[in-house]
Structure 1
Amino acid sequence: MRLPARLLSLSAVTAASALLLTGCFSESASDDSAGGSAGGDGKRVRVAMMNPPRSGLSPLSDDAFKLSRWSTAETLVTLDADGDAEPALATKWQQNARTWTFEIRDGVTFHDGTKLTAESVVRSLTRAATASPKPRILDGVDLTVKADGDSVAVTTGTEDPLVPQRLSSPQLSILAAKAYRGKTVSPVGAGTGPFELTKVNGTSSATLDRYDDYWGGTAKSPGIDVKFVPDGTARAATLRSGEADVVEAVPVSQAALLDEDLVTEVPMPRTNTLYLNTGSGPFKDASLRAAAREAVDAESIVKGVYEGRADVAKGLLGPALPWAADLREPVQRAKSGDPNGRTITIGTFTDRAELPEVAQTLQQRLQKAGFKVKLDVREYANIESDALAGEFDAFILSRATVLDSGDPAAYLYSDFGSKGSFNISQLSDRKVDAALEKAAGTKTGDARRRAVVDAEAAVLATDAAIPMLHERVIQGDAAGVVDVEHDPRERALITADTYVK
């Protein structure tokens, strides 16, 4: 097995036919009409992405992370490699009990030419805070926003040490007034980043052009041409054929077929987890959840499905958060019961090419343990709502654990809090809720890390989720690509410094 030439740590940072790919990026692959290269040579960056938009690229959905990866929508703050907040559209901030005051950067314009003001920030954050459902990062947070001269005052219902980190979430991007004219939020021509989103072609493609008045300096590439290619084999083929410059989420099965110099393996704060429905069905019984846990052989999945390009999970939080392993202690769990031929349905999705194979492996293991197992495998866009509604007995999900705030407490609340918006396990447990509440209210530092690991232990004790492995996402970059990002948090990809030789 040939390993990737590069492996980045957190701090450093099925078959498809040829016809499917023909002309994939032909419309603007070498278009230099957007102007000079400003350090590049005038070529546009062609990107093949995995997941098509699910909500019309609304920043209030997970589509927000696409806007961030294309450097078109920005937030008040960003996060450094350690998860600490750094200035972006806000230059500085301070806390006074429940209120944080953010000073808004001067000289910033939106892509429609209007000026960034405190009122602009209030409008965007208020729309997010009052949305239904709220962005995950605001789960359980009562947040109000008011303008105060050139600053913005953000007040929470209870004292919240994580407000700056929360405001770094791409789902809290600041957009121009034009974005909010309808019932949905449209980011087209409404961001502040170095690239302006100029066209969205449904779920097939998107076009971005350089924004020459960007406050942070002119981008080196004249634009970005995005194609959404859910099929992993087809996506990898765009790199082999030279039709894409940057390819995200290359399937493990395809990595060995690519030139190793074009492949980067990025250890991610992402856990492949088997969520068990604690609200209804067979897994409402804790002893059957324990039986499922004992049937899972994560090591064989890592070796057989991921070809060793993943880490066996010891908990929900993986190697990208090394302090978790140092603090983790053994967890007391329920004893295993007899499945006695109970029928269960496991759901998962095709967008991540390895997951259907993981499902088949689990099916075999669970059937051997005494369950009868049915599989339901679809594209993510067609299965998410059923998963959240508790329609499956179990669901296999590749889940980012620090995606939103850089802090895993938000992920734990969202996925396992009784009022969490992403509670696939339908978990409602007083001990878990108490541990999550404690973690959320603890100030940043060693004490918060301890509280987070205690909350993880409370979740694991329920067997509502069986962590199997921590992924290393594989990214493909053509030989001529310069300064593309390899971001473990999946927030950055094409930046103002990225260009194609």
Structure 2
Amino acid sequence: MTFFTGLKKLIIGTAVGLCLVGCGKEETKPVKELKTTMTMDIDSLNPYKIVSSGSEEIMFNVYEGLLMPGVDGSLQPAIAESWTVSDDGKVYRFKIRKGVKFHDGTTLTPQDVVFSLNRMAGKDGFPPAKALLNEMESAKVVGDDIVEITLPNPNSAFIYALTMGIVPEANKDNLEKNPIGTGPFKVKDYSREQEIVLEKFDDYWGNKAKLDKVTVYVTPNTETAFLKLLSGEIDMLSRVDANRLKELQNFNNMSGPQNTVQIFALNNAVEPFNDIRVRKAINYAIDKDEIIKGVMGGNGIKLETNMSPVMKKYAIENVGEKRDIEKAKQLLKESGHENFSFTIKVPSNYSLHVNTAQIIAEQLKEVGIDAKIETIEWTTWLSDVYTGRKYEASIIGLSGKLDPYAVLRRYTTPYKNNFFNFSNPEYDKLIEESKYSSDDAQITKNYKRAQEILRDEQAAIYIMDPELITSLDKRIKGFEYYPTPFINFANMSFGD
């Protein structure tokens, strides 16, 4: 072999080697991973045991129901591609989408749907996932791709529970440890109290996720989470404090209604709040605009009743109430309750509500009312206020639902958690009629009239829907707010 022949082979061999290394690097695509945090750990991998909204907003990406929430509060097709309801409102028929795959690669069948419905309704010996589902009489397959649900009575609220996840019957004994759904993401890894990692599901029946991976770190300390965002350790942070937006000018800061109602609850069974004139006087004495500006930096929607305008179909419009100190003083004088004092019990772990209480206390001084603030632990608030009704006044946020019945039944006389102690026969009748009606127009009319009663009777002081502020890396596109706990990672991308 000559020197030149050897050199030629050496050059060719080196080129091939470089190609193997270089070409390999070119073919390796960077993983599109979004990192974020949640304050509390996932409370369960079993979709029928998930309770917290923080868990719901993540696990909606893993589990899908027959239906799914839309950004406008409507119900959209998911595993069911269409559905019908009988004229009497008792029979629902769902056409099951063909070709839906579970995360383990098996194909979803109508029998999996029936199993899931029976499990979530408590028909197979397990507790019902929601009390509402317990009203299901039966679920059965009535055709190749049709599942029929029968109720003993019409129930307009029932369909809203069908966003709960469908799971494979073959995995029925392992729901706690082996999360298998049909969503655009599957659970790749879960470390308790540390993180949950979601991975793109390539066989998803719908539009495939643009992100390859989502890592959610469990970060209870909000300051720690904030610093992670500033340092670039995470790409997205939910529930940002409005007072810290000045520090986030290099991020895309978005805000939107939470479908939550912040209320100043007055115990209607306790003197002097059993007098409607006192409740109305306090409403006149409060400056809601000042509260929204002071505690939310202006990021809130002023309310007059217990439904956020994000519920477009059912919410009534504000009439434009204004603060009126003289009117407040007049009503207090007429009621014979001038210059009194009372205590506002506020859960200490919610700075929003504590700060709101402080502003309200200052505002009420102008009409001669002395409001004392008592901060209490969350568990104490639940036992004393929510369950025991041992309080005079409180400030809390009531989470919204897709189902208007779930929102408005809170004020019905027999409802066990009607901690306002509000009672109105007409209101009770309107809500009861709506639940058992199949007439959509009448249901909507009833719910709007019910809200007018809450406003007219001043069942509580309705302050605002505090807008949820989310800060994102400026490369992230596709983020949207939903009127229910749901971060739709499947629609998000890094600029694609």
TM-score (norm 2): 0.77
Structure 2 distance, partners of 1:39, 1:67, is 34
Determine the structure 1 residue equivalent to 2:139. Answer: 146
Structure 2 distance, partners of 1:108, 1:235, is 37
Structure 1 distance, partners of 2:216, 2:379, is 19
Structure 2 distance, partners of 1:135, 1:116, is 23
1:223 CA drift (Å) = 1.9
Structure 1 distance, partners of 2:449, 2:469, is 31
1:227 CA drift (Å) = 2.0
Determine the structure 1 residue equivalent to 2:393. Answer: 394
Larger RCO of the pair (alpha carbons < 8 Å, separation 6+): 1
**Partner amino acid, structure 1, of 2:347:** T
1:100 CA drift (Å) = 0.5
1:105 CA drift (Å) = 2.0
Helix, strand or coil for the counterpart of 2:296?
coil
**Partner amino acid, structure 1, of 2:353:** L
**Partner amino acid, structure 2, of 1:411:** V
Determine the structure 2 residue equivalent to 1:487. Answer: 482
Structure 1 distance, partners of 2:39, 2:255, is 16
Contact kept? 1:367, 1:373, Cα under 8 Å = no
Contact kept? 2:346, 2:354, Cα under 8 Å = no
- Which of 113, 125, 133 is the aligned partner of 1:121? 113
Task: Specify which structure has the higher proportion of helix.
Answer: 2
1:94 maps to 2:84 = yes
Helix, strand or coil for the counterpart of 2:374?
strand
Structure 2 distance, partners of 1:426, 1:201, is 43
Determine the structure 1 residue equivalent to 2:408. Answer: 412
Contact kept? 1:143, 1:157, Cα under 8 Å = yes
**Partner amino acid, structure 1, of 2:490:** T
Contact kept? 2:309, 2:317, Cα under 8 Å = no
Structure 1 distance, partners of 2:470, 2:293, is 20
1:326 CA drift (Å) = 4.5
Any residues of structure 2 matched to 1:170-189 within 5 Å, and which?
172-177=164-169, 181=173, 186=176, 188-189=178-179
Structure 1 distance, partners of 2:269, 2:170, is 42
Determine the structure 2 residue equivalent to 1:46. Answer: 35
Any residues of structure 2 matched to 1:471-482 within 5 Å, and which?
471-482=466-477
Cα deviation, 1:80-108, whole Å, max 9, x if unaligned, reads 44444321011111122310111222222
Structure 1 distance, partners of 2:295, 2:43, is 27
Contact kept? 2:69, 2:76, Cα under 8 Å = yes
**Partner amino acid, structure 2, of 1:354:** L
1:271 maps to 2:287 = no
Helix, strand or coil for the counterpart of 1:239?
helix
**Partner amino acid, structure 1, of 2:301:** D
Any residues of structure 2 matched to 1:149-168 within 5 Å, and which?
149=143, 150-161=145-156, 163-168=158-163
Structure 2 distance, partners of 1:54, 1:421, is 25
Helix, strand or coil for the counterpart of 1:272?
strand
Cα deviation, 1:117-168, whole Å, max 9, x if unaligned, reads 33322333333334767637x28x7223312243222222322345444423
TM-score (norm 1): 0.76
- Which of 282, 299, 303 is the aligned partner of 1:309? 299
1:449 CA drift (Å) = 3.1
Helix, strand or coil for the counterpart of 2:426?
helix
Helix, strand or coil for the counterpart of 1:100?
strand
1:412 CA drift (Å) = 1.0
Structure 1 distance, partners of 2:348, 2:66, is 33
1:229 CA drift (Å) = 3.4
Determine the structure 1 residue equivalent to 2:3. Answer: none
1:75 maps to 2:75 = no
1:357 maps to 2:347 = no
1:196 CA drift (Å) = 1.7
Cα deviation, 1:296-353, whole Å, max 9, x if unaligned, reads 33121012222222122232233424564459699xx9965427645434123535x4
Helix, strand or coil for the counterpart of 2:490?
coil
Change (3 A) 1:315 1:428: closer
- Which of 97, 115, 124 is the aligned partner of 1:105? 97
Contact kept? 2:344, 2:395, Cα under 8 Å = no
**Partner amino acid, structure 2, of 1:476:** S
In structure 2, runs of 5+ residues without a counterpart are 1-24, 322-327
**Number of residue pairs matched?**
450
Helix, strand or coil for the counterpart of 2:233?
coil
1:416 CA drift (Å) = 1.9
1:53 CA drift (Å) = 4.1
Structure 2 distance, partners of 1:190, 1:385, is 36
Contact kept? 1:347, 1:392, Cα under 8 Å = no
Contact kept? 2:357, 2:373, Cα under 8 Å = no
Determine the structure 1 residue equivalent to 2:343. Answer: 344
Structure 2 distance, partners of 1:488, 1:40, is 35
- Which of 234, 238, 252 is the aligned partner of 1:244? 234
Greater C-alpha radius of gyration: 2
- Which of 249, 256, 260 is the aligned partner of 2:246? 256
Structure 2 distance, partners of 1:458, 1:39, is 63
Contact kept? 1:435, 1:458, Cα under 8 Å = no
Change (3 A) 1:201 1:465: farther
Change (3 A) 1:442 1:82: farther
1:254 CA drift (Å) = 1.5
1:454 CA drift (Å) = 0.7
1:274 CA drift (Å) = 1.9
Contact kept? 1:48, 1:226, Cα under 8 Å = yes
Structure 2 distance, partners of 1:57, 1:383, is 28
Change (3 A) 1:160 1:370: same
Change (3 A) 1:266 1:64: closer
Change (3 A) 1:246 1:92: same
Helix, strand or coil for the counterpart of 1:257?
helix
> Percent sequence identity over matched residues?
22
Contact kept? 1:272, 1:396, Cα under 8 Å = yes
Cα deviation, 1:379-399, whole Å, max 9, x if unaligned, reads x57754554313544332233
Deviates more, 1:71-80 or 1:143-152: 143-152
Determine the structure 1 residue equivalent to 2:205. Answer: 215
Contact kept? 1:267, 1:471, Cα under 8 Å = yes
1:456 CA drift (Å) = 1.1
1:42 CA drift (Å) = 0.8
1:376 maps to 2:371 = no
1:216 CA drift (Å) = 2.5
